[in-house]
Amino acid sequence: MNKPHAVITRRIAPEAVHLLQQHASVWQWNASDPVPRAILLERIGEADALLALLTERVDDELLAAAPRLRIVANMAVGYDNVDVAAARRRSVIVTNTPGVLTETSAEFALALIMAATRRLKEAMRWVERGHWTAWDPLLLLGIDLTGATLGLVGYGRIAAAVARRAHALGMRVLYHARSRHIEDEERLGVEYAELPSLLALSDVVSLHVPLSRETYHLIGESELRLMKRSAFLVNTARGGVIDPDALVRALRESTIAGAALDVTEPEPLTADHPLVQLDNCLVVPHIASASIATRTRMATLAVENIIAVLSRRAPLTPVL
């Protein structure tokens, strides 16, 4: 019997590719840049399985070009790049990679919270520009996290892992989500708040909602105005959750103190983009889950989902 065929859209951890090769013939776009759409549309025609990244738009057009496709294994916890309804109409299973990246992503959110509140980008630029002439008691003052209030917008696995860390640092933690998390309220003392009061009370606002029609530009002009002038905004969720033009204005006019962004709209940002240029905005290239172990686990989980579906077993982490 012919082996099923799988398409992998990028260079990923080789051990995951080798594992998949034991179960399927594999075509891989083995490069660091995204596969051109035309090539993917051509290659998908033969595929029983697709290992996709968040950079691929898995829409009706792509699915229509894939008559044999049984699974889209998205190598990310977010899957806003996949038209799940279109996949369901075609009986294509969609999986993501929850759980394996939680701690790594929470660590990185903390790194951005610390970098923003202690003005790391500005400080590095200060030295690089040759301005470091003497120790100065009033130079580059930031805020302490101990005793500060962190506002988590969204409360999934990653936000909860950030809450645990923030609690250990002595922060007060507010959260806003669709449902209450009573256990964490009791165990960690996290406090539920409506979005406007969370924005008004927090010294740091950290975003943890998936991108959807409801969360697109959730943080815009009026939300930024609700934040304290001394507060910082951190985004490790999806760029589209923030209205970027409103954020540029807020940062330029100092209606908030600063931002740290792992994700942006659009993605990537060019080097001359105002958010990249501003001293009070730190931008990194969507790397919250980028530890060696975690990226290997994500690739392996995506492959395990494919193997399960190709072997007519239930997928490990379906999105629905």
In this chain, which of 26, 44, 72, 77 binds ligand GLV, going by CB under 6 A? 77
Interaction residues for ligand GLV, span 100-119 (CB under 6 A): 101
Contacting residues for 91 by C-beta, under 8 A, at least 6 apart: 70
Interaction residues for ligand GLV, span 18-57 (CB under 6 A): 54
5, 10, 119, 286: the active-site residue: 286
Catalytic (active site) residue 286? yes
In this chain, which of 23, 78, 84, 118 binds ligand GLV, going by CB under 6 A? 78
User: Minimum distance from CB of 25 to ligand GLV (Å)?
Assistant: 27
The two tokens of residue 218 are 């959730």
Distance in angstroms (rounded) separating the CA atoms of residues 155 and 289: 18
Which C-beta is closer to ligand GLV: that of 54 or that of 204?
Answer: 54
Catalytic (active site) residue 238? yes
3-state secondary structure of 168: helix
Q: Which of 224, 275, 257, 264 is nearest to 241 (CA)?
A: 264
Sign of the alpha-carbon torsion through 109, 111, 117, 121: negative
Q: Which stretch binds ligand GLV (CB under 6 A): 72-80, 106-114, 153-161, 183-191?
A: 72-80
Catalytic (active site) residue 167? no
107, 191, 221, 267: the active-site residue: 267
**Binding-site size, ligand GLV (CB under 6 A):** 6
User: Minimum distance from CB of 310 to ligand GLV (Å)?
Assistant: 23
Q: With beta carbons less than 8 A apart as the criterion, state whether 95 and 69 touch.
A: no
End-to-end, the C-alpha distance of the chain in Å comes to 31
Q: Does 289 bind ligand GLV (CB under 6 A)?
A: yes
Interaction residues for ligand GLV, span 189-218 (CB under 6 A): none
Which C-beta is closer to ligand GLV: that of 101 or that of 284?
Answer: 101
Amino acid of residue 220: G
Distance in angstroms (rounded) separating the CA atoms of residues 102 and 82: 21
User: Minimum distance from CB of 44 to ligand GLV (Å)?
Assistant: 22
Sheet holding 258-261, edge to edge: 191-192, 172-176, 149-153, 204-207, 232-235, 258-261, 281-283
In this chain, which of 7, 26, 71, 76 binds ligand GLV, going by CB under 6 A? 76
Q: With beta carbons less than 8 A apart as the criterion, state whether 267 and 244 touch.
A: no
3-state secondary structure of 195: helix
Q: Which stretch binds ligand GLV (CB under 6 A): 74-82, 178-186, 195-203, 276-284?
A: 74-82
Binding mask 224-253 toward ligand GLV (x if CB under 6 A, else -) reads: ------------------------------
Q: Does 58 bind ligand GLV (CB under 6 A)?
A: no
User: Minimum distance from CB of 109 to ligand GLV (Å)?
Assistant: 12
147 burial via Cβ count (<10 Å: 0-12, 13-18, 19+): exposed
Distance in angstroms (rounded) separating the CA atoms of residues 109 and 107: 6
The two tokens of residue 54 are 């968040």
Which C-beta is closer to ligand GLV: that of 237 or that of 246?
Answer: 237
238, 265, 295, 304: the active-site residue: 238
Distance in angstroms (rounded) separating the CA atoms of residues 177 and 194: 8
Is the link from the previous residue into 268 a cis peptide, with omega within 30 of 0?
A: yes
User: Minimum distance from CB of 267 to ligand GLV (Å)?
Assistant: 10
Catalytic residue IDs: 238, 267, 286
Contact residues for ligand GLV, defined by CB under 6 A = 54, 76-78, 101, 289
